[in-house]
Amino acid sequence: MQTKEGTGRTRPVSETRIYRVCAGPASTWAVFSEERPREPVASFRDKSAAVRYAMDLARRRTSWHGLLGAPRPGDSPTLHP
């Protein structure tokens, strides 16, 4: 069991989502999910932005508001449907 951050509650590991960041074409970094391992969820110009996005997805914290907020350089993702 894993503890959900800040809640003290646990959830089964089977509910945990895994995301990975890989180098993409033209100096980009692609975020992939285990549900769709061949199609990127999003891609970024900055590796740290891609890792931060993947971690937020894994923690289920990413929202459209966060993507539309004040971006840092390289934070603007290219979302893939």
Give CA–CA dist 10/16, Å, rounded.
11
Instruction: Specify whether the CB–CB gap between 42 and 52 falls below 8 A.
Output: no
The whole-number pLDDT of residue 17 equals 82
Higher pLDDT, 31 or 13: 31
Average pLDDT of the segment spanning 57-76: 60
Q: What is the maximum alpha-carbon separation in the chain?
A: 42
Higher model confidence: residue 23 or residue 80? 23
pLDDT at position 59 is 83
pLDDT tens sequence across 21-60: 999 989 999 999 988 888 999 999 999 999 999 998 888 7
Q: What is the mean pLDDT of the chain?
A: 75
Q: Three-class SS of residue 50?
A: helix
